[in-house]
Amino acid sequence: MAPTSTPQTPFGRVLTAMVTPFTADGALDLDGAQQLAAHLVDAGNDGLVLNGTTGESPTTSDAEKVQLVRAVVDAVGDRAFVVAGAGTNDTHHSLELARAAQDAGAHGLLAVTPYYSKPPQEGLLRHFTAIADATDLPVMLYDIPGRSGVPINTETIVRLAEHPRIVANKDAKGDLGRASWAIARSGLAWYSGDDMLNLPLLSVGAIGFVSVVGHVVTPELRALLDAHLNGDVTKATEIHQKLLPVFTGMFRTQGVITTKAALGLQGLPGGPLRLPLVELSPEETEQLKRDLAAGGVQL
């Protein structure tokens, strides 16, 4: 049974976009995934996002995606939201992934803007609507033009928000002005998808985070959020500034690479990467250690 949601916080407030652990030979590590999921929920996450970019979704098969969702739901689904990535640049394939995720027990769907093909806004509207129509699950849009090549325009977001199952947006657009208008006009639950902008997005109406650095600093993210909700702007700013080295260090290169390295340094499941991603060099690993230490992360 899923945790209790509200219209204001349909997936909770603090979620981590979880890596997909692999074994030494590159196979899916379901035991490791369950262990990592439990660790992240114990640390204070309300939910986990699986099969997203941080989950190396471009290199996992449909069958592996289903197995991962089922394993994580079994491990933590009674105390955390499990949101499954179902977005691709092929609407038909996305519908298949959405239905499979629902069958595997997911509590919600993450639908990224179709990438590479650069559809017009009408194409985005029809794509996301088709995904929302495909299952009974609530949907979080994922607006990340830096990867997809196309933003979801504010007018499109407002129209999509009329769908009863499109309830949230993960914002990695990096535009606080457009975020402000979209939040005000759409009424969607707004989640920061850019860790460096977690606090600024809260200030214009976001209700929480879908984080990468949550793999290593979930308690701090929770403290930042709680301080903001309690009106203690000074404390929230202090926590934000303390975490700046972590935000910077975890994105010196591609985020999955640094996240799996950080998990390895902490003795947590992550395992190797699948090509075209590659492990950090020894020099990059030492820099990551310095960045994490500067942000107060114990290794």
pTM of this structure: 0.97
Residue 98 lies in a domain: yes
Residue 251 lies in a domain: no
d(CA 179, CA 167): 15
> Which tokens is 184 given?
């005000």
> Annotated binding site for pyruvate, which residues?
54, 210
Q: What is the CATH number of the domain that holds 68?
A: 3.20.20.70
d(CA 27, CA 174): 35
Can you name the residues that pair with 82 across neighbouring β-strands?
48
Residue 2 lies in a domain: no
Residue 8 lies in a domain: no
> Annotated binding site, which residues?
54, 210
Q: How many other C-beta atoms lie within 10 A of the C-beta of residue 78?
A: 10
93 Cβ partners below 8 Å, 6+ apart?
none
Can you name the residues that pair with 83 across neighbouring β-strands?
49, 108
Residue 272 lies in a domain: no
Residue 194 lies in a domain: yes
Q: Give the pLDDT of the chain (299 residues) as one tens digit per residue.
A: 678 888 899 999 999 999 999 999 999 999 999 999 999 999 999 999 999 999 999 999 999 999 999 999 999 999 999 999 999 999 999 999 999 999 999 999 999 999 999 999 999 999 999 999 999 999 999 999 999 999 999 999 999 999 999 999 999 999 999 999 999 999 999 999 999 999 999 999 999 999 999 999 999 999 999 999 999 999 999 999 999 999 999 999 999 999 999 999 999 999 999 999 999 999 999 999 999 999 999 88
Structural domain count of the chain: 1
Residue 241 lies in a domain: no
64 Cβ partners below 8 Å, 6+ apart?
20, 28
> Which residue range(s) make up the domain with 143?
14-233
2-9 contacts, C-beta under 8 A, 24 or more apart: 2/77, 2/78, 2/81, 2/107, 3/46, 3/47, 3/78, 3/79, 3/80, 3/81, 3/107, 5/81, 5/138, 7/167, 7/189, 8/189, 8/207, 9/46, 9/189, 9/207, 9/208
Catalytic residue numbers?
A: 142, 170
Residue 59 lies in a domain: yes
